[in-house]
């Protein structure tokens, strides 16, 4: 049976940040690990969500045995509805991960069509030639698993996202033993999280945030407002516990915060003692020093609860002089300005804002630093290694970090980006043929509205220099233009442009008049001539390159 090839096919998240998705193929059988989304770069104007291009899976839909989710972060599950809209496939994950997926499927009215299968650490799942064992790992969200995927050619370990938290707040330790056993028996390939490879040493335990949170509860003279990622259930549990200890009631603000706390509470992953929970609408009724408000929106997203509170535009929560606002989250690169703007607003309201680097920390990362990555490399001792979950700079550094294992059985390391593939057979491992990958830009969170590249290109051009539209009216009887061409323009220049546009009309007229009768017979040609002449003129006069679009109107 092992005369077939094993293929590793990253469809997202390798060589880029976000939207993790990987296909693993043996012979004709395929399993998919995670289907994430990412938030778009600023350059992708008007785009709300980006998912991987799932063409490869669609073309091989008949062979896809299952979608396996490692944990419930957006960059691992956010693309699930979009993938399931294209192919029908059973989905496997821990109860908490699947509960989050359910919410998204509900939003897209797809819940009835999809089969969700709960798994737990220690379970084994057989899918075609693959036998998958789920291994508990620690991370910033609860219920995370790594995967040990046994194939006819050997075992693949996929870590998912992890840190090696020595003292997790829920006391569920990273299952190093199972990883060690696989390592001892021999692992063909390791796929391991590269996010924090740049950081030396160890990432601090989630518990390290405790002293800072406690300090906030002890010292805040008035209302305490804490913002964190709604999926940080460990963090929320610590907040709830300190609230009980120090006699404050907790109210949750923001849709994602209400959703995830409700789910986590239902599944017994978040314990809220009786009498601690406060309804959002009651938050301003209690004495300020009896309230802790937990608010989503750490990244300064304009419509988030915290952004609205910051500009005093929230129905149930206001910041008053002397309140304390703590941002218990990292700044995702690209969000700095929005976040600082929000902090400025909060400061103007007279609140004390606690954010950034401090000791004890107000936030710790969920991803392992260099020494944790080395620990996993050393436990697993794979024959082949492919760093995953990171931009190229991180993947290449992770590859270097594994070099010492060449003395302990590591035969080769491959830096793959999306679309690259790795082929393994009895003779060894090598790069295989590329597959179709890409980004699908989604305009407003519905399944249908995919913004095509041309539209994005136009929007970018429009955003820089606006547009100039020469409009030429053609008499449909004579075929000749009537009068002087009109020019319509927006976003191009300020009012001083009148002179330039007046001259531009003459330029268009000259182009019309200097054309041969043959040219004039073909309005496609004329449009191109007008565009070219006008482009040259405007660029020379103004150094700008507006979108130019000649319009021919038969009248």
Among all residues, which ones are annotated catalytic?
193, 367
CA–CA distance, 365 with 249 (Å, rounded to integer): 27
What angle (nearest 5°) sits at the alpha carbon of residue 241, between those of residues 289 and 351? Answer: 35
Q: Is 505 in the site for a copy of itself (CB under 8 A)?
A: no
Query: In a 3-state reduction of DSSP, which class is residue 497?
Result: helix
In the chain the first and final C-alpha atoms are separated, in Å, by 73
> Shortest distance, CB of residue 500 to a copy of itself, whole angstroms?
12
The answer to whether the beta carbons of residues 430 and 496 sit under 8 Å apart is no
Using an 8 Å Cβ cutoff, are 146 and 159 in contact?
yes
272 in Cβ contact with 240 (< 8 Å): yes
Q: Using CB under 8 A, pick the residue from 185, 200, 478, 524 that binds a copy of itself.
A: 200
Asked if 333 touches a copy of itself (CB under 8 A), the answer is yes
Near a copy of itself in 338-377, by CB under 8 A: 340, 343-344, 346-348, 353, 356-358
The verdict on whether omega for the bond into residue 70 sits within 30 degrees of 0, i.e. cis, is no
Find all residues with CB under 8 Å of 536, minimum gap 6, and list them: none
Q: Applying CB under 8 A, which of residues 287, 454, 513, 540 lies at the interface with a copy of itself?
A: 454
227 or 261: CB nearest a copy of itself = 227
Q: Which of residues 32-71 bind a copy of itself (CB under 8 A)?
A: 41-42, 45-46
Phi first, then psi: what are they for 20, rounded to 5°?
-75, 135
Enclosing H/E stretch for 548: strand 547-548
| 44/439 Cα distance (integer angstroms) | 11
What is the distance, to the nearest Å, from the Cα of residue 195 to the centroid of all Cα atoms in its chain? 13
In whole angstroms, how close is the CB of 194 to a copy of itself at the nearest point?
12
CB of 272 to a copy of itself, least distance (A): 32
One of 54, 229, 492, 537 touching a copy of itself (CB under 8 A): 492
Q: By C-beta, is 59 or 482 nearer to a copy of itself? A: 482
Smallest separation (angstroms) from a copy of itself to the CB of 22: 19
Contact range with a copy of itself by CB under 8 A, out of 68-76, 152-160, 381-389, 465-473: 465-473
- Size of the residue set binding a copy of itself (CB under 8 A): 66
- Of the two residues 106 and 464, which places its CB atom closer to a copy of itself in the complex? 464
Backbone angles phi, psi at 84, to 5 degrees: -70, -20
From the list 204, 307, 188, 209, the residue with the least C-alpha distance to 254 is 307
Residue 131 or 335: which CB sits closer to a copy of itself? Answer: 335
Residue 144 CA: distances (Å) to CA of 5, 71, 173, 183: 29, 5, 11, 20
**Is 463 a binder of a copy of itself (CB under 8 A)?**
yes
Helix (H) or strand (E) segment spanning residue 32: strand 29-33
Decide: is 467 part of the binding site for a copy of itself (CB under 8 A). yes
- Residue 291 · residue 278 · CB < 8 Å: yes
SS3 406: helix
Asked if residue 541 binds a copy of itself (CB under 8 A), the reply is no
Does position 434 bind a copy of itself by CB under 8 A?
no
Dist CA 172 CA 144 (whole Å): 11
State the minimum distance, in angstroms, from the CB of residue 403 to a copy of itself: 12
For a copy of itself, which is the closer residue by CB, 186 or 445? 445
Binding mask 116-155 for a copy of itself (x = CB under 8 A): ----------------------------------------
Verify binding: residue 241, a copy of itself, rule CB under 8 A. no
- Give the binding site for a copy of itself (CB under 8 A): 15, 41-42, 45-46, 198-200, 333-334, 336-337, 340, 343-344, 346-348, 353, 356-358, 391-393, 396-397, 443-444, 450-452, 454-455, 458-467, 469, 471, 473, 475, 482-483, 486, 488, 490-495, 543-544, 547, 549, 551, 553-555
């Amino acid at each position: 049976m092992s005369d077939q090839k094993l293929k590793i096919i990253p469809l997202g998240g390798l060589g880029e940040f976000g939207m993790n998705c990987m296909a693993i193929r043996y012979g004709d059988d395929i399993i998919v690990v995670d289907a994430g989304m990412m938030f778009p770069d600023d350059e992708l104007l008007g785009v709300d969500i980006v998912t991987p291009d799932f063409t490869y899976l669609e073309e091989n839909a008949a062979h896809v045995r299952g979608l396996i989710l490692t944990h419930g972060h957006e960059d691992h599950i956010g693309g699930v509805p979009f993938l399931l809209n294209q192919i029908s496939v059973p989905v496997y994950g821990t109860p908490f991960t699947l509960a989050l997926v359910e919410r998204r499927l509900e939003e897209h009215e797809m819940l009835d069509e999809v089969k969700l299968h709960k798994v737990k650490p220690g379970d084994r799942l057989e899918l075609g030639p693959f036998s998958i064992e789920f291994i508990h790992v620690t991370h910033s969200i609860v219920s995370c698993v790594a995967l040990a995927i046994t194939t006819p050619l050997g075992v693949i370990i996929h870590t998912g996202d992890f840190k090696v938290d020595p003292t997790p707040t829920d006391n569920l330790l990273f299952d190093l033993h199972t990883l060690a056993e696989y390592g001892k028996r021999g692992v063909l390939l390791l796929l391991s999280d590269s996010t924090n490879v740049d950081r030396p040493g160890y990432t601090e335990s989630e518990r390290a945030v405790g002293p800072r949170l406690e300090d906030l509860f002890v010292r805040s003279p008035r209302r305490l407002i804490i913002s964190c990622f709604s999926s940080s259930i460990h963090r929320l549990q610590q907040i709830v516990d300190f609230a009980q200890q120090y006699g404050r009631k907790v109210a949750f603000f923001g849709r994602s915060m209400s959703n995830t706390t409700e789910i986590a509470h239902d599944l017994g992953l978040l314990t809220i003692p009786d009498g601690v929970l406060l309804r959002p609408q009651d938050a301003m009724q209690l004495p300020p020093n009896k309230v802790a408000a937990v608010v989503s929106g750490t990244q300064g997203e304009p419509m988030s609860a915290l952004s609205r509170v910051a500009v005093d535009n929230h129905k149930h929560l206001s910041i008053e002089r002397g309140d304390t606002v703590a941002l218990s989250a990292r700044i995702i690169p690209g969000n700095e300005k929005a976040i600082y703007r929000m902090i400025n607003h909060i400061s103007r309201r007279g609140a004390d804002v606690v954010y950034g680097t401090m000791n004890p920390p107000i936030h710790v990362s969920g991803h392992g630093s260099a020494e944790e990555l080395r620990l996993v490399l050393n436990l697993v001792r794979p024959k082949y290694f492919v760093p995953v979950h990171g931009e190229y700079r991180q993947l290449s550094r992770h590859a270097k970090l594994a070099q010492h294992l060449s003395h302990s059985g590591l035969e080769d390391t491959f830096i793959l980006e999306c679309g690259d593939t790795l082929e393994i057979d009895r003779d060894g491992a090598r790069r295989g043929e590329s597959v179709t990958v890409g980004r699908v830009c989604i305009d407003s969170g519905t399944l249908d509205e995919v913004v095509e590249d041309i539209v994005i290109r136009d929007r970018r051009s429009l955003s820089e220099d606006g547009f100039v539209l020469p409009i030429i009216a053609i008499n449909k009887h004579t075929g000749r233009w009537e009068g002087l061409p009109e020019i319509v323009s927006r976003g191009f220049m300020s009012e001083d442009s009148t002179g330039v546009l007046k001259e531009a009309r003459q330029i268009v007229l000259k182009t019309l008049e200097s054309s041969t009768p043959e040219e004039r017979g073909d309005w496609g040609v004329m449009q191109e001539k007008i565009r070219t002449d006008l482009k040259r003129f405007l660029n020379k006069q103004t150094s700008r390159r507006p979108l130019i679009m000649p319009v021919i109107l038969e009248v």
